[in-house]
Amino acid sequence: MRLAALKLALVASAAAVVFPSWAQPVTSAEPQAESANAGDIVVTARRREERLQDVSVSISAFSSEALERSTVQTVSDVKTIAPGFTFSSEGGKDNVALTLRGIGQLPLGEVTPGVVIYLNDTPLPSVGSNVPTYDIGSIQVLKGPQGTLFGRNTLGGAVVIGSQKPSYAFEGYVEGTYGRFDYRELEGAVNIPIIEDKIAFRAAGQIRRQDPRRIAFDGGPGFDNIHQDAFRLSLLVEPVEGLKSTTIYEYFKGDELAGGLYLLRENYPFAALGLGVVEPQVQAALQAQKANRRGSFDGGINGGAAYRKTTSITNDTSFSFGDLTLRNIFGYRKNYSYQLINTGGLPLLQIPTGLPSPAPSAVPFTLFTASSVLDRQYLTNETQLLGDFGSFNFIVGAFYNNDKPDGPSGSQFTAFSVGGVPAPAVTAHVRNKNWAVYGQIGYEFTDKLKLNLGARYSWDKVSACGGTIGTNYVDEATCLNTAALGLADGVGTVSNKGQEPSWTIGLDYKATPDWLLYIVSRRGYRGANVNTPLFETPFTTGGTNPACVATGGVCADLRPFQKTGEEKITDVEIGSKYDYHVGSARGRLNIAAYYSKYKNALQFLNTQTTVPNGTPDSPTNGSLAANVADLRIWGVELEASISPVRSLTVGFNAAYTNVKVESLTVPAGLPSTIVLGEGQINKYSPSFSGTASVSWTLPIRPADGDVVLNADLFMTDDFGGQNGEKLPGYQLANARLDWRGIGGTGLDLGVYVKNLFNEKYFSASSVLLPSFPTSSVYAGDPRTWGVTAKYTF
Give residue 339's pLDDT.
94
* Stretch (H or E) spanning 417: strand 410-418
Q: Write out pLDDT tens, residues 327-341.
A: 999 999 999 999 999
Question: For residue 637, what are the β-bridge partners?
Answer: 592, 655
8 A C-beta contact, residue 662 and residue 633 = no
Q: What is the pLDDT of residue 28?
A: 34
- CA-nearest of 629, 561, 634, 563 to 599 is 629
How does pLDDT run across 456-469, given as a tens digit for each residue?
999 999 999 988 88
Residue range 2-792, CATH number: 2.40.170.20
Q: Within 10 Å of residue 778's Cβ, how many Cβ atoms?
A: 25
Query: Residue 262: in which H helix or E strand, if any?
Result: strand 261-266
Greatest Cα pair distance in the chain:
93
Give the residues across from 163 on adjacent strands. 136
Residue 669 has a pLDDT of: 64
Is 43 exposed, middle or buried, given 0-12, 13-18 or 19+ CB atoms closer than 10 A? buried
- DSSP structural state of residue 159: E
Our measurement of the distance from residue 14's CA atom to the centroid of its chain's CA atoms, rounded to an integer in Å, reads 28
Give dist(CA 322, CA 241) in Å, integer. 11
| Contact between residue 610 and residue 540 where contact means Cβ atoms under 8 Å apart | no
pLDDT of residue 8: 43
Q: What percent of the chain has pLDDT over 70?
A: 92
Q: Where are the beta strands (DSSP E) in 646-773?
A: 648-664, 688-697, 706-716, 719-722, 725-727, 730-740, 747-754, 762-767
Q: At a CB cut-off of 8 Å and minimum separation 6, what does 586 contact?
A: 35, 36, 37, 38, 579, 580, 642, 643
Residues ≥6 apart with Cβ < 8 Å to 786: 71, 177, 178, 179, 180, 183, 185, 751, 752
- Residue 64: closest CA among 118, 120, 136, 119: 136
Residue 105 CA to residue 129 CA, distance in Å, equals 14
Distance (Å, rounded) from C-alpha 345 to C-alpha 676? Answer: 26
* pLDDT for the residue 623: 80
Spell out where 532-584 has E strands. 563-564, 567-582
pLDDT of 300 reads 93
Dihedral-angle region of residue 549 (phi above 0 means left; psi in -120 to 50 means alpha; beta otherwise): alpha
| Model pLDDT, residue 348 | 94
Three-class HEC string of 303-322: CCEEEEEEEEEEEEEEEEEC
Q: What is the b/e burial string over 591-620, where b = at least 16 CB atoms within 10 angstroms of the residue's CB?
A: bbbbebbbbbbbbbbbbbbbbbeebbbbbb
Per-residue pLDDT reduced to its tens digit, 614-644: 788 888 777 888 898 999 999 999 999 999 9
Helix (H) or strand (E) holding 482: helix 476-483
Question: Chain-wide mean pLDDT for the chain?
Answer: 89
Please give the helix or strand (H or E) that residue 284 lies within, else none: helix 279-291
pLDDT at res. 16: 42
Q: State residue 113's pLDDT score.
A: 82
Distance CA 24, CA 545 (A): 64
Give the integer Cα–Cα distance in Å for 529 and 564.
Answer: 5
Assess contact for 492 and 428: CB atoms under 8 A: no
Local confidence band at 424 (pLDDT 50, 70, 90 cut-offs): confident
With beta carbons less than 8 A apart as the criterion, state whether 45 and 84 touch. no
Q: Yes or no: say if 62 and 68 are a contact pair by the CB < 8 Å rule.
A: no
Q: Is the pLDDT confidence value at 12 over 90?
A: no
Are the beta carbons of 19 and 640 closer than 8 angstroms? yes
Band (pLDDT 50/70/90 cuts) for residue 720 is confident
Q: Is the pLDDT of residue 4 over 70?
A: no
How much is the pLDDT for 91? Answer: 65
Among 287, 209, 203, 301, which Cα is nearest to 247's? 203
Do the beta carbons of residue 389 and residue 323 sit within 8 Å?
yes
Using CA atoms, how far apart are residues 476 and 427, in angstroms rounded to an integer?
9
SS3 track for 122-144: EECCCECCCCECCCEEEEEEEEC
Q: Does the pLDDT at position 17 exceed 60?
A: no
H or E element at residue 285: helix 279-291
Q: Measured between alpha carbons, how far is residue 751 from residues 5, 67, 708 in Å?
A: 22, 15, 11
Which residue in 402, 387, 396, 394 sits closest to 330, CA to CA?
402
Given phi > 0 = left and psi -120 to 50 = alpha, else beta, which region is 54?
Answer: alpha
- What would the pLDDT profile of 673-695 be if each residue is shown by its tens digit? 676 777 778 788 899 999 999 99
Positive or negative, the CA dihedral 536, 537, 540, 543 is positive
Cα 337 to chain centroid, rounded: 16
Q: Look at the chain and count its residues.
A: 793
Cis before 533? omega within 30: yes
Q: Note the pLDDT of residue 40.
A: 63
Indicate the domain borders of the chain: 2-792
Strands, E assignment, 277-361: 295-296, 305-321, 324-341, 349-352
pLDDT in tens, 462-504: 999 988 888 888 999 999 999 999 888 889 999 999 999 999 9
Do residues 307 and 98 make contact, with C-beta atoms less than 8 angstroms apart? no
> pLDDT per residue over 433-451, tens digit each?
999 999 999 999 999 999 9
d(CA 64, CA 299) in angstroms, rounded, equals: 41
pLDDT of the residue at 675: 65
Backbone angles phi, psi at 538, to 5 degrees: -60, -25
266 pLDDT exceeds 60? Answer: yes
Residue 129 in this model has a pLDDT that exceeds 90: no
- Amino acid found at 39: G
End-to-end, the C-alpha distance of the chain in Å comes to 44
* Rounded mean pLDDT, 396-408: 96
- Which residues have a Cβ under 8 Å from the Cβ of 469 and sit 6 or more positions away? 425, 427, 478, 479, 482, 491
Q: Are 583 and 577 in contact (CB under 8 A)?
A: no
Residues 76, 7: Cα–Cα separation, whole Å: 23
Quickly list H helices, 61-149: 64-69
Write the pLDDT tens digit of every residue in 567-615: 999 999 999 999 999 888 999 999 999 999 999 998 878 787 788 877 8
Helix or strand run (H / E) with residue 3: helix 2-15
Average pLDDT over residues 29-53: 62
Q: What is the pLDDT of residue 23?
A: 35
- What average pLDDT does this structure show over 647-675? 85
Which of 245-254, 311-320, 580-589, 591-600 has the lowest average pLDDT? Answer: 580-589
Positive or negative torsion for Cα 462, 463, 469, 473: negative
